[in-house]
């Protein structure tokens, strides 16, 4: 299934995408794609969608805004330097264990919403990433294989970053990751059975029509199952939590000289099978 939330910010309605033009409205049976929904499991929704498709109860997209495919999660967890070729471009060693940082849940926005430059920013950067959505309350998984049952699906994420805040202001990376609009997600959540191999997906990102990132989940150091198992040893993962799993090479700070986003720039990005995004960069407010 392809789960979506469509409508104005704060009043998005849950829907299931069928194709580029049609969807099934499930807002009468699902309050939102939130913790309670994921904790109950996806099977009841599958049955509803099957029945409505058979009955012809299908709607056409009409240019509605697309929101993030999940409601505000408890936490957004992020894995740094998780692609071998990205670690190489930054001149850093491949980590022995996943590097963990967090982003506030209020950074989450829709895939085509504007990204705003924070005040004082000088080094705004982009990162196309594969996001994992947790499907059940999870802790102390016994094995990496057990993590598969804890994953509700996958989503495209842009882990927007302010590198001066992140690298030059002391403290933790979260300083450069936490401004408003810094986590566009979507356009839809794709359930695992729809993806033949999550570790073999092409990823890309353009800025103003110029290809800046081109990579593949093949070069991930720690794959999604490993990441979920690893995190479960340190914390309780809640249904609907989002995990950003790192980015391939081509980020702004990896270029010589570095390239930083400016007001008026347009980012376009995507992952094969998971859809694409488009964001316009706004000046500080």
Taking the C-alpha atoms of residue 32 and residue 204, their distance in angstroms, rounded to an integer, is 30
Mean predicted confidence (pLDDT) in 123-140:
98
In this structure, are residues 14 and 3 in contact, taking their beta carbons and an 8 Å threshold? yes
Instruction: Look up the pTM and report it.
Output: 0.96
Mean predicted confidence (pLDDT) in 98-120:
97
* Nearest to 86, CA basis, from 202, 215, 244, 259: 215
With a cut of 90, say whether residue 132 has pLDDT above it. yes
Q: Measuring CA to CA, how many Å separate 195 from each of 41, 131, 147, 213, 250?
A: 19, 14, 16, 22, 25
Name the residue with higher pLDDT: 75 or 167. Answer: 75
Taking the C-alpha atoms of residue 239 and residue 101, their distance in angstroms, rounded to an integer, is 19
What confidence tens digit (pLDDT) does each residue in 153-205 have? 999 999 999 999 998 887 778 899 999 999 999 999 999 999 999 999 999 99
The tokens of 50 are what? 């099957």
Mean predicted confidence (pLDDT) in 121-149:
98
Mean predicted confidence (pLDDT) in 60-83:
95
pLDDT above 90 covers a percentage of the chain that reads 92
Predicted pLDDT of residue 236: 98
Sheet with 210-216: strands ordered across: 115-116, 275-282, 266-271, 202-207, 210-216
What confidence tens digit (pLDDT) does each residue in 227-279 have? 999 999 999 999 999 999 999 999 999 999 999 999 999 999 999 999 999 99
In this structure, are residues 201 and 130 in contact, taking their beta carbons and an 8 Å threshold? yes
Q: Indicate the DSSP class of residue 229.
A: H
Taking the C-alpha atoms of residue 126 and residue 132, their distance in angstroms, rounded to an integer, is 19
Taking the C-alpha atoms of residue 152 and residue 43, their distance in angstroms, rounded to an integer, is 11
Task: Determine if residue 104 is left, alpha or beta; phi over 0 gives left, psi from -120 to 50 gives alpha, anything else beta.
Answer: beta
pLDDT above 70 covers a percentage of the chain that reads 100
- Outline where DSSP puts E strands in 95-179: 99-103, 108-109, 115-116, 124-125, 128-134, 151-158, 161-162
Predicted pLDDT of residue 143: 98
Give the chain's end-to-end CA distance (angstroms, integer): 38
Q: Which residue is it, tokens 């990896």?
A: 254
With a cut of 80, say whether residue 89 has pLDDT above it. no
Predicted pLDDT of residue 4: 98
């Amino acid at each position: 299934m392809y789960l979506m939330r469509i409508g104005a910010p704060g009043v998005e309605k849950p829907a299931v995408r069928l194709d580029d033009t049609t969807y099934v409205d499930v807002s009468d049976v699902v309050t939102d794609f939130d913790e309670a929904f994921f904790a109950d499991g996806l099977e009841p929704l599958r049955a509803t969608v099957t029945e409505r498709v058979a009955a012809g109860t299908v709607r056409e997209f009409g240019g509605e805004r697309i929101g993030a495919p999940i409601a505000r999660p408890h936490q957004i967890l992020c894995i740094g330097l998780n692609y071998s070729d990205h670690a190489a471009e930054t001149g850093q060693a491949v980590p022995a264990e996943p590097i963990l940082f967090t982003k506030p849940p209020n950074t989450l926005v829709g895939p085509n919403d504007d990204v705003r430059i924070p005040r004082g920013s000088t080094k705004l950067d982009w990162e196309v990433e594969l996001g994992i959505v947790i499907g059940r309350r999870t802790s102390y998984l016994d094995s990496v294989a057990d993590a598969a049952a804890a994953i509700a699906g996958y989503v495209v994420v842009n882990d927007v970053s302010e590198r001066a805040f992140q690298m030059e202001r002391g403290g933790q990376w979260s300083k450069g990751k936490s401004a408003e609009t810094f986590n566009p997600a979507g356009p839809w959540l794709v359930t695992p059975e729809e993806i033949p191999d999550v570790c073999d997906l092409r990823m890309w990102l353009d800025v103003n029509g110029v290809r800046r990132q081109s990579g593949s989940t093949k070069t991930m150091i720690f794959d999604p199952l490993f990441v979920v198992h690893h995190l479960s040893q340190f914390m309780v993962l809640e249904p609907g939590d989002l995990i950003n799993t790192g980015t391939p090479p081509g980020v702004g700070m990896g270029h010589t000289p570095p390239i930083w986003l400016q007001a008026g720039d347009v980012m376009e990005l995507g992952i094969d099978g998971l859809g694409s995004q488009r964001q316009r960069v706004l000046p500080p407010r």
